[in-house]
Amino acid sequence: MPAARRIRVLAVVLALSMAGNVSVAQTRVTPTRPAAAQMTWHTIRLRNVDFVDLREVGERLGLKIEWSAATRKLSLSRSDDRVVVFEADNRDCYLNGIRVFLSERVTAHRDTLWVSRLDVLKTIAPLLRPAEQSLLWPARPRLIVLDAGHGGIDPGKSNTTHKITEKDMTLDVVLRLQKLLEERGYRVVLTRKDDTRFANNPLIDLQRRADFANKALGDLFLSVHFNAVDPKDAHRVTGSETYVLTPQAMLSTSDEKKDDLTDVAFPGNRNDVGNVLLGYHLHRQLITDLQASDRGFKRARFAVLRFVESPAALIEAAYLSNDAEAARVAQPEFRQRIAEAIARGVDNYSAALDALRPAESP
Ligand SMILES: [Zn+2]
């Protein structure tokens, strides 16, 4: 079958399958779309990385494609208005207006845009076609482990003008969040309830926080932090960031090239698919509810995320290095808003998992 006709047939089948028509199982072409992870993608090698044409991603995931050569932007959208916009040379994309970082820069080539194959598998497909990753989704969380960043001899970041330290602010947010989550029916345990830490060695301390979460058999791990930048940038950098563990073989957001951790598969990587959904929902709610500057949903191989066996995220809620933002953090009302945004993010993540459940039944 010629390629153009094959694509048209596939498009019809996709349209039927989206309409819930089960008769597609008798057609000669693929009965239902295979999960993105099982698809063979046509790749080209750029900068030593496999890239996929975003038009192919759109066609094969059954998405509407709009490309503007003038702006070098390409958007993929679903009928429910889920839309993701890519722009040439950027390492991020915008999903429903929320900034989501990719492992590799979006690249213009042959009058279209290309993204890395791993970005398709680990970020774009799970967010745009979650139902097709159904076997990989975690269960709705019941027991949530909350981790107030730092503590004891480690104050974390601080703001001297407003006399606040990260370890106090994270504990306060986590205690507020515990109450909100328990009111919603979740069970909650805390890695620390006071100004302590597990170990003075920072790496051992972080490892023990993960061990604690694993021993508690938590379904979800949330580590709360506040951020800071160098004084020279402090006046201009504000907002929220949300991190999940970088999938194996992908670059963390702050990396430009591979390092000795890039190819390591950590226990936390078993939850790559759950993590992307969790991170997106938490980040979207933080940006929306706090009206925060969108620093992005990012990936990092933070020690505390590597060994947690449940879906896990680390939230950098605001910048203590910025005096105006630190002044807000110093207010209990703002810390309550942070806790409420995270609680809503957890609810939305749970609801998204529930919505995927029918797809799991035979
Ligand atoms: Zn921190």
Task: Dump pLDDT digits (tens) for 176-221.
Answer: 999 999 999 999 999 999 999 999 999 999 999 999 999 999 999 9
Question: 337 CA distance to ligand 1 centroid (A)?
Answer: 19
Question: 192 CA distance to ligand 1 centroid (A)?
Answer: 14
Question: 102 CA distance to ligand 1 centroid (A)?
Answer: 23
Rounded CA separation 7/59 (Å): 8
Question: 226 CA distance to ligand 1 centroid (A)?
Answer: 6
Rounded CA separation 358/362 (Å): 9
Structure tokens given for 262: 């890039």
pLDDT of residue 82: 87
Share above pLDDT 70 across residues of the chain, in percent, rounded to a whole number: 89
The count of other CB atoms within 10 Å of the CB of residue 169 is 29
Is 169's pLDDT higher than 50? yes
Provide the whole-model pTM.
Answer: 0.88
Question: 185 CA distance to ligand 1 centroid (A)?
Answer: 28
**Nearest Cα to 49, choosing from 100, 118, 123?**
118
Rounded CA separation 252/67 (Å): 28
Query: Residue 297 is inside which H or E element, if any?
Result: strand 294-300
Question: 149 CA distance to ligand 1 centroid (A)?
Answer: 5
Question: 209 CA distance to ligand 1 centroid (A)?
Answer: 14
Phi (first) and psi of residue 29, to 5 degrees? -85, 170
Helix (H, G, I), strand (E, B) or coil at 127: helix
The count of other CB atoms within 10 Å of the CB of residue 235 is 12
Is 11's pLDDT higher than 50? no
Rounded CA separation 229/40 (Å): 42
Is 295's pLDDT higher than 50? yes
Residues 327 and 319 sit within 8 Å (Cβ to Cβ): no
pLDDT of residue 358: 61
Residues 90 and 104 sit within 8 Å (Cβ to Cβ): no
Helix (H, G, I), strand (E, B) or coil at 49: strand
Q: Where are the domains of the chain?
A: 1-32, 35-132, 143-360
pLDDT of residue 64: 95
Question: 275 CA distance to ligand 1 centroid (A)?
Answer: 20
pLDDT by residue (tens digit) across 92-150? 999 999 999 999 999 999 999 999 999 999 999 999 988 887 677 888 999 999 999 99
Structure tokens given for 95: 């999903």
Question: 174 CA distance to ligand 1 centroid (A)?
Answer: 13
Half-sphere exposure for 72 (CA within 13 Å, toward CB)? 11
Question: 261 CA distance to ligand 1 centroid (A)?
Answer: 21
Structure tokens given for 94: 């915008």
Domain made up of 35-132: CATH architecture: 2-Layer Sandwich (3.30)
Is 13's pLDDT higher than 50? no
Contacting residues for 244 by C-beta, under 8 A, at least 6 apart: 275, 276, 278, 279, 297, 299, 305, 311, 312, 313, 314
DSSP state of 286: H
Task: List the CATH code of the domain at 143-360.
Answer: 3.40.630.40
Class of residue 22 by CB neighbours under 10 A (exposed 0-12, middle 13-18, buried 19+): exposed
- Average pLDDT for the chain: 89
pLDDT by residue (tens digit) across 23-62? 323 333 344 567 777 778 899 999 899 999 999 999 999 9
Q: How many angstroms from the chain centroid is the CA of residue 13?
A: 31
13, 18, 22, 26 alpha-carbon torsion, rounded to 10°: 10
Is 318's pLDDT higher than 50? yes
Question: 154 CA distance to ligand 1 centroid (A)?
Answer: 10
Going by pLDDT thresholds of 50, 70 and 90, the confidence category of residue 165 is very high
Is 71's pLDDT higher than 70? yes
DSSP state of 124: I
Position 47: which residue type? R
Q: Stretch 322-350: mean pLDDT, rounded?
A: 98
The count of other CB atoms within 10 Å of the CB of residue 160 is 10
Structure tokens given for 247: 């999938």
Helix (H, G, I), strand (E, B) or coil at 78: coil
pLDDT of residue 32: 58
Residues 341 and 289 sit within 8 Å (Cβ to Cβ): yes
Question: 44 CA distance to ligand 1 centroid (A)?
Answer: 39
Residue with tokens 């957001």: 253
54, 60, 63, 67 alpha-carbon torsion, rounded to 10°: 30
Question: 62 CA distance to ligand 1 centroid (A)?
Answer: 40
Rounded CA separation 225/148 (Å): 7
Question: 232 CA distance to ligand 1 centroid (A)?
Answer: 20
Residue 300 or 9, more confident:
300
pLDDT of residue 22: 29
Residue 22 or 293, more confident:
293
Q: Stretch 290-309: mean pLDDT, rounded?
A: 97
pLDDT of residue 349: 97
Contacting residues for 248 by C-beta, under 8 A, at least 6 apart: 262, 263, 264, 265, 266, 269
